[in-house]
Structure 1
Amino acid sequence: LNPPLFFEIVEDQVYRSNKCDASSIPFLATLQLNTVVYLSYDDLSRDLAAFFAEKEINVIHLGMKYRTASSQWKGISEGMAKEAIECILDQRRHPILVMCKTGVHFAGTMIGCLRRLQNWSLTSTIDKYRNIAGSVKTRFENEQFIELFDVDLVTLPQQLPSWFTVHQRLMV
């Protein structure tokens, strides 16, 4: 089995990776995914799209939804981040894979924003982003987005995963 590049278990039944090729499909099949949140502006490959359709995996293409003429240069919008995190936190969508073209820039930024919502320290959150992005190249604007993202924008879904609720109780 060939995991996608930058594959990572984020939390129980929450994964992130790059937009992988057909060689990673057998690995993805083992995850028994229910949802894929795709953050890049381009389309999925035919192989991936066919696999997701065959397995009845719900693909939420936020990159396409939030694409504007200038978005290629702006990166992630607050709306995209809010919606992606709300998808990640909705237990009914699990197991869920968050993916972008590189597996680093958009997916890494989303996971960084999630970590902020989980009350991780900013230093730990940015260090984790840099650790993964290091081989591709970190982007200051992504780090800044993670730092400045307003976690109060996120509306918590009705059915939260236990890993989130347990952590929230510990923070009280």
Structure 2
Amino acid sequence: MCLIMEVGVGGGGGGGENNDVLVPPTNFSMAEEGIYRSGLPQPDNFGFLRTLNLRSIVYLCPEPYPEENLKFLAANNIRLLQFGIEGKTHRTGCLVGCLRKFQNWCLTAVFEEYQRFAGVKSRSTDLAFIEKFDSVCLRQCLYSLIYHYQGYGSNKRRLLYREENLQKSRVTSR
């Protein structure tokens, strides 16, 4: 399970961890089975996050991850993956929007979900990025990787497929 997050305004209150009440982080929602999205958790969100049995957290901001949150991750054996995407975009919304396109959602539904979570942070440049995201190219790339590394089909087919790709790249580079 994974939690995708970015720094946001507010949190769950920020008043320290309270074990009696489970408070989700700002903008918390399930993006896909086992994958959640949210703003940056505050200490009073830790009890809620503990119930998810997270294995990793994907942090999309360039700012250092808060020390108190790092201690929570260490205590709960959660791995932090930080990608540090610069800019003033709604990073999580863009990432989830691209996921939705990959899942073949209609663009209207993708934009509605983006705007629901982005609120005042909604930007036309983010929507244009999501619209132009090429999910078909990504799908072909993923299929190629799966085919190559998982060994679907015979070795001969896999080697031929690899040689075909090499020949195509030689032809296009001339």
TM norm. shorter chain > 0.5: yes
- Equivalent in the alignment of 1:125: 110
Is 1:143 paired with 2:127? Answer: yes
Q: Percent identity?
A: 36
Q: What CA distance in whole angstroms lies between the structure 2 residues aligned with 1:129 and 1:72?
A: 17
Alignment of 1:73-112 (within 5 A): 75=89, 105-112=90-97
5+ residue gaps, structure 1, are 76-104, 159-172
User: How much is the aligned-residue C-alpha RMSD, in angstroms?
Assistant: 1.7
Q: Deviations over 1:41-71 (max 9, x none)?
A: 11111111111122121111011xx5xxxx4
Q: Does the aligned pair in 2 maintain the 1:116–1:122 contact within 8 Å?
A: yes
Structure with more relative contact order (C-alpha pairs < 8 Å, separation 6 or more): 1
Aligned counterpart, 2:52: 31
State the Cα distance separating 1:138 from its structure 2 match: 0.8
Q: Distance in 2 between matches of 1:150 and 1:37?
A: 22
How far residue 115 of structure 1 moved from its aligned partner, in angstroms, is: 0.3
Aligned residues: 121
1:19 is aligned with what amino acid? L
Paired position in structure 1 for 2:160: none
Q: Unaligned stretches of 5+ in structure 2?
A: 1-21, 147-174
Assess if the C-alpha contact under 8 Å between 1:19 and 1:44 holds in 2.
no
62, 87, 98: which one aligns with 1:72: 87
What is the CA–CA distance in structure 2 between the aligned matches of 1:53 and 1:142, rounded to whole Å?
33
1:47 equivalenced with 2:68 (yes/no) = yes
Aligned equivalent of 1:167: none
Larger radius of gyration: 2
- Aligned mates of 2:62, 2:123 — CA distance in 1: 18
- Runs of 4+ in structure 1 deviating by more than 4 angstroms, as ranges, are none
Tell me the distance in 2 between the aligned counterparts of 1:61 and 1:52. 13
Question: In the alignment, residue 141 of structure 1 is paired with which amino acid?
Answer: T
TM-score (norm 1): 0.65
TM-score, normalization: structure 2? 0.64
**Structure 2 counterpart of 1:145, one-letter code:** F
Q: Shift of residue 146 of structure 1?
A: 0.7
Matches of 1:22 and 1:43, distance apart in 2: 16
Query: In 1, distance between residues paired with 2:95 and 2:57?
Result: 13
